Amino acid sequence: MISPAPFAEIWRGAFLESVHSGHAVICDEKGEIMEAWGDPEAVVLARSSSKMIQALPLVRSGAADAFGLGTRQLALSCASHQGAQIHLDGVGAWIKKLGLGDVDFRCGPEQSRDQDVREAQIRAHESPCRIHNNCSGKHAGFLTLSRHLRGGPDYVAIDHPVQRACLEAFEEVTAQTSPGFGIDGCSAPNHAATLHGLARAMAHFAASPESSAEARLHEAMRLHPELVAGEERACTELMRACDGKVALKTGAEGFFIAIIPERKIGIALKAACGTTRAAEAAIAALLVRLGVLDANHPATLKRINAPIRNWDGLVTGILKPAAGLLA
């Protein structure tokens, strides 16, 4: 196995305090590797970075059109949202139209990551609901597809028609037979592939025709970055910084993907340590390297060459991308 490559460095004064490492692949429209760091054949779980793949059957089956889903719902189907009111309103109206409610979700209840919503619930002595789960948009998509396919209520079961359709789509776009799956934080199966396979899948999305399900999904993400994550989140801020030309999606344990339609390029990366700040620094550096992100944009500078402050507000260090990612 090839060792991980340096992703990000933490400097405290003149001392290199920590180094984050990982694996990254950039693929072209043919699925060929343009550039790679670390081990392209590392087998990984993309976690929430694979949500647009899991949403493919929702569109391809005709379910999205049959239930009148627009770009906002499609963006939410790919989201790891923070449970702000904009997300709760969107998902809530969607499942209400299906005649369903919170009890029908198979994702667990999760405390909202939005401060206003969280504090309002605390003041009201309310418990978090399943709709607050950051994956509730994806699960609304699963529920819609299940209704369309006349599937049963346990739509996260590996042998359910929804999950069989997700696996079929996953193996198609990665061009690999998945070696297995893990159970994600939202209880849905999450299939494994090589990092090359996942970068190939993102390049496939980037190169797909405008009318395709792939294009509809990444266009929805680019149109509504605030729905894909939320304010002050990397996905939302970096998509805005790229002027809507790049679709971005984070995943747990240090994963990140990028879909660049104008260049027909896809990126997949995994921080070996599973650290979010390493993955965010790496994806920002690669977007700068490819010329689709301004190195001096405020959203970029929060992730690369970012000052580290102590509790008194003093700058005590800096987070820098590894030199090999930028040039």
pLDDT for res 326: 85
Long-range contacts of 230-238 (CB under 8 A, 24+ apart): 230/81, 230/82, 230/84, 230/87, 230/113, 230/114, 231/82, 231/84, 233/82, 234/280, 234/283, 234/284, 234/303, 235/80, 237/299, 237/302, 238/283, 238/284, 238/287, 238/293, 238/299, 238/300, 238/303
What is the value of pTM for the model shown? 0.97
Domains in the chain, ordered, with CATH? 5-326 (3.40.710)
Residue where the block lists tokens 């950051």: 134
CA distance 211 to 294: 30
18's tokens: 């920590």
Reduced to 3 states, what is the DSSP secondary structure of residue 66? Answer: helix
Identity of residue 66: A
Residue 217 · residue 284 · CB < 8 Å: no
Contact 269, 195 (CB under 8 A): yes
Measure the CA–CA gap between 132 and 129, rounded to whole angstroms. Answer: 6
Task: Quote the tokens at residue 203.
Answer: 């390049």
Question: Which burial class, exposed, middle or buried, applies to 190 when counting CB atoms under 10 A from its CB (0-12, 13-18, 19+)?
Answer: buried
Q: Are 211 and 41 in contact (CB under 8 A)?
A: no
Residue written as tokens 């989201």? 79
Contact 7, 271 (CB under 8 A): yes
Cα–Cα separations (whole angstroms), residue 258 to 18, 31, 196: 26, 14, 13
Main-chain phi, psi angles of 321, to 5 degrees? -70, 150
- Per residue of the chain (327 residues), give pLDDT as tens: 689 999 999 999 899 999 999 999 999 999 999 999 999 999 999 999 999 999 999 999 999 999 999 999 999 999 999 999 999 999 999 999 999 999 999 999 999 999 999 999 999 999 999 999 999 999 999 999 999 999 999 999 999 999 999 999 999 999 999 999 999 999 999 999 999 999 999 999 999 999 999 999 999 999 999 999 999 999 999 999 999 999 999 999 999 999 999 999 999 999 999 999 999 999 999 999 999 999 999 999 999 999 999 999 999 999 999 988 987
H-only helix segments in the chain: 51-54, 56-60, 63-66, 71-77, 85-97, 115-123, 136-149, 161-174, 195-207, 213-223, 225-228, 234-241, 276-289, 298-301, 323-326
DSSP code of residue 127: P
pLDDT of the residue at 323: 87
The whole-angstrom separation of Cα 172 and Cα 325 is: 29
Q: How far apart are CA 198 and CA 205, in angstroms?
A: 11
